[in-house]
Amino acid sequence: MNREDINAFCASLPQATHVVQWGNSDVWKVGGKLFAVLGWNNGETAVTFKVSPIAFEVLPDMQGIRPAPYLASRGMKWLQDTRDPGLSDAELQNHITYSHEMAVAALTKKKRAELGL
């Protein structure tokens, strides 16, 4: 998946919103909660997403996966796929979907109801 494909996938998730910030990064949120960031790693696309504590421990052993700069250094369980080689397309989609689900779960009941989630 390239940056365009990943952005299209993020846009397909329920109530996903997009802004460009942080040095021209594509930032994806649901209900104001961050779930994915597409930025750059040495001129190539890098995808940052929230993961479970277990995934945070296991996935960095794979080539192309690392704790997300800034977010992980603050104790948050976020990883960055530098796409070299990184996760398969299906695995990446699964992790972005799970990150979206965790963001939805962090919303208040009222906010989830407002968004129809």
Name the residue range of residue 53's domain: 3-115
- On average, the pLDDT of the chain sits at 93
Q: CATH number, domain at 48?
A: 3.90.1150.30
DSSP assignment letter at 4 = H
β-pair type (33-41, 44-50)? antiparallel
pLDDT digit string, tens, across residues 65-80: 999 988 877 878 999 9
Provide the domain count of the chain: 1
Work out the pLDDT band at 9, boundaries 50, 70, 90. very high
Residues 6+ apart with CB under 8 A from 49: 35, 36, 37, 78, 79, 81, 95, 96, 98, 99
Which pLDDT score is estimated for 42? 67
pLDDT digit string, tens, across residues 38-58: 987 666 789 999 999 999 999
